[in-house]
Amino acid sequence: MENKTNIELNQLENKPVSDKYLVFGSPNFNDEEYTEIVEVLKSNWIGTGPRAHRFEEMFCAYKGADYAVSVNSCTAGLFLSLLATGLEMGDEVLVCSMTFCATANVVEHIKAKPVLVDCELNTMNVSIDDLKRKITPKTKGIILVHFAGRPISNIREIVEIAKEKNIAVIEDCAHAIETELDGQKAGTFGDIASFSFYVTKNITTGEGGMIITNNKEYADKVKVLALHGMSKDAWKRFSDDGYNHYEVVYPGYKYNMTDLQAALGIKQLEKIDPFYQKREKIWNFYNDALKDLPLITPYKVEANSIHAYHLYTILLELEKLNITRDQFITLMHKENIGTGVHYRAIHLQKYYRETYNYRPEDFPNATRISERTVSLPLSSGMSDSDMKNVVTAIKKIVAQHGK
């Protein structure tokens, strides 16, 4: 349940949420999105069509990538990326344990083996030392997550190692739309990358994802796989040029993005800079307001990098508090503040710990973070009083529960 926000939990439990409740990861829409959605409905073309195509072009330009293929989730994008790069049953794929389950699940979906790697304690990104230790002759893929939107600072070194050993590099950019390292954008370091437009993400289409790559063969492959393995997509079939038959060239999947989703994506991408500036303001406000409390604020943004400010994750100093992390979250909830846990690491999850006999101590950094981390609200739609309320609630709780 750890990826569910408190409002989602309330919905599951059928509890009304008060107007005063600050929802974790709430989207930021206004009349531009409302008008555009009505336009799509009036156009009578709500499936995959011109808007999905336009969103792909805009995303390509934003990222400076050669190809972009829109899909219905980042998870679908990761799965298709694994197929496109030729990974298959029995291969080993390195995955950092400090990530959302989807990063590892997709490896299971192709019947390959996710080999978990510990993270760094400060950046929460993959530990290159542990990654090197985990490479075997069976390693055929690495999925790299830019955690919380922070670029993996040694990603070029990892890509070099992978090239030498003929290992495919897939970037999981679910948190990393705006992320850059030395002027290079996240998603352009490896062979192929997948982005998320889930509701809590920096820009959202409700559900949605985008694959980018500079490799034409991979782009063509994911495009076909995302729509039943058909050689032509629906809106091209019914174009003014006349009817075109499709060929099924592979038993593909149903992962295409609709124009309804893309309409949101287009409007949201147009506002990516002001959204970013707002989150940066909240980030700096938290950094300053929380610095003397029994918690660790996010590691500094490293030089020559752009952090996407997707998640503001604090680590509670449990030695100085008489409550657990989960009790802290419940108390925040009672103060009308929704928070998140990103994440309880993969090796601690039932399926992975039982299938691969992982123990907490096998990944000491990811385990430590799993027990202490709390993500604070960081939506671009937040008001000044929202961010002050978050800090007031934290100060109240630590004052009552400090040792």
Ligand X SMILES: Cc1ncc(COP(=O)(O)O)c(C=O)c1O
Which residues are part of the catalytic machinery? 201
The residue among 92 and 172 lying less far from ligand X, judged by its C-beta, is: 172
* Residue 287: CB minimum distance to ligand X, A: 22
Of 105 and 139, which CB lies nearer to ligand X in the complex structure?
Answer: 105
Taking the complex as a whole, how short is the minimal distance between the CB of residue 266 and ligand X, in angstroms? 18
For ligand X, the binding residue among 82, 102, 315, 387 (CB under 6 A) is 102
Interface region with ligand X, contact rule CB under 6 A, candidates 71-79, 252-260, 299-307, 386-394? 71-79
Residues 134-163 close enough to bind ligand X by CB under 6 A: 145
By CB under 6 A, tell whether 74 contacts ligand X. yes
User: Minimum distance from CB of 38 to ligand X (Å)?
Assistant: 25
CA distances for 210 relative to 11, 56, 60, 121, angstroms? 28, 8, 10, 29
H or E stretch covering 316: strand 312-316
Q: Given candidates 48, 70, 75, 85, which one binds ligand X under the rule CB under 6 A?
A: 75
Strand partners, 376: 312
Nearest distance from C-beta of residue 376 to ligand X, angstroms: 16
- Measured CA to CA, the distance from residue 7 to residue 21 in angstroms comes to 9
**Is residue 99 part of the contact set for ligand X (CB under 6 A)?**
yes
Q: Which residues face 208 on adjacent strands?
A: none
Chain residues 163-182 in contact with ligand X, contact rule CB under 6 A: 172, 174-175
Token pair of 323 as six digits:
């409550």
Smaller CB separation from ligand X, 290 or 341: 341
CA neighbor of 197 nearest in space, from 119, 275, 87: 275
258 binds ligand X (CB under 6 A): no
**332 lines the binding site for ligand X (CB under 6 A):** no
Site residues (CB under 6 A) for ligand X, limited to 209-228: 209
CA distances from 64 to 68, 85, 217, 301, 304 (A): 10, 21, 18, 23, 18
C-alpha–C-alpha distance, residues 275 and 205, integer Å: 15
Alpha-carbon distance 69 to 86, whole Å? Answer: 18
**Residue from 24, 100, 218, 358 binding ligand X (CB under 6 A):** 100
Find the shortest distance in angstroms from Cβ 153 to ligand X. Answer: 18
Asked whether position 196 contacts ligand X by CB under 6 A, the answer is: yes
Please say which residue, 131 or 145, places its beta carbon nearer to ligand X: 145
CB 339 within 8 A of CB 377: yes
Sheet with 184-185, edge to edge strand ranges: 184-185, 180-181, 305-306
**Residues 6 or more apart whose Cβ sits within 8 Å of residue 191:** 85, 168, 169, 170, 213, 215, 218
378 is a contact residue toward ligand X (CB under 6 A): no
Binding interface with ligand X (CB under 6 A): 73-75, 99-100, 102-103, 145, 172, 174-175, 196, 198, 209
